């Protein structure tokens, strides 16, 4: 056999070796993380539940998921051990920020305007005419021709006639 025919097999074996090596390293890191769990640390289970560790045994972990709720998990069910800041941010909503003395961004944009007038006074003092985008102004409509007014009158009469006629609801129809 020549080297050219063996090259794909050598590359394939090398890739498999590298993949198994990285997977083994990840497994060792996960096992080390699970062995380093201490009571009082925050954890996330593989199911996505956040809890505080109360007791660590050889193969199990007793966690406190809430007031009066203690759960027993296998160590393999612990997905991650969280730092105190991250656990408090996720579970309690506590943001630990070093820039707490900086400017606070308001919840709404009303405080961003620099006017001292209340909103009603500002609207009354405004010289701008309110614009209704849904309707045309009467000044902008073109002058109607007599034919247009006749068609409009006939349409209005037909509309009024249909409103006066009783609606048939019993299934009878005039079409045959």
Q: Is 69 exposed, middle or buried (0-12, 13-18, 19+ CB in 10 A)?
A: exposed
Q: Give the tokens for residue 167.
A: 């609606």
Residue 154 pLDDT: 66
Instruction: Measure the N-to-C terminal CA separation of the chain; round to a whole number of Å.
Output: 91
pLDDT of residue 63: 93
Q: CA nearest 79: which of 68, 63, 66?
A: 63
Task: Enter the pTM of the model.
Answer: 0.45
User: Cα–chain-centroid distance for residue 151?
Assistant: 53
CB atoms within 10 A of CB 116: 7
Greater model confidence, 8 or 152: 8
Average pLDDT on 82-89 reads: 87
pLDDT band at 93; cut points 50, 70, 90:
confident
DSSP 102-145: SPPPPSSGGGGS---S-HHHHHHH--SPP--TTS--GGGSPPPP
Q: Residues 27-62: pLDDT tens digits? A: 888 888 888 888 988 999 999 999 999 999 988 999
* DSSP bridge pairs for 84: none
Classify domain 37-96 by CATH number.
2.30.30
**Choice between 64 and 164, residue whose per-residue pLDDT is larger:** 64
Mean pLDDT of the chain, nearest integer = 75
What are the tens digits of pLDDT across the range 111-146? 666 655 555 555 555 555 666 677 565 555 555 555
The per-residue pLDDT for 88 is 85
> What pLDDT, on the 0 to 100 scale, is given for residue 162?
57
* Confidence band for 153, pLDDT divided at 50, 70 and 90: low
What band does 2 get if pLDDT is binned at 50, 70 and 90?
confident
Predicted confidence (pLDDT) per residue in 96-112, tens digit: 655 555 566 666 776 66
Structure tokens at 100: 């707490």
DSSP state of 90: I
């Amino acid at each position: 056999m020549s080297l050219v025919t063996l090259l794909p097999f050598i590359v394939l074996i090398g890739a498999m070796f590298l993949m198994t090596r990285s997977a083994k390293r990840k497994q060792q890191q996960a096992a080390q993380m699970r062995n380093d769990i201490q009571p009082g640390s925050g954890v996330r289970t593989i199911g996505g539940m956040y809890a505080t560790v109360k007791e660590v045994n050889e193969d199990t972990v007793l966690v406190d998921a809430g007031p009066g709720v203690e759960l027993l998990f296998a160590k393999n069910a612990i997905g991650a051990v969280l730092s105190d800041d991250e656990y408090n941010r996720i579970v309690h909503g506590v943001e630990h920020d070093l820039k707490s003395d900086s400017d606070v961004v308001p919840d709404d944009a009303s405080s961003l305007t620099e006017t001292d007038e209340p909103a009603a006074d500002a609207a009354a003092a405004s010289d701008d005419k309110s614009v209704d985008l849904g309707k045309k102004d009467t000044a902008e409509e073109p002058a109607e021709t007599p034919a247009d007014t006749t068609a409009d009158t006939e349409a209005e009469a037909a509309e009024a006639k249909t409103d006066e006629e009783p609606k048939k609801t019993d299934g009878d129809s005039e079409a045959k």
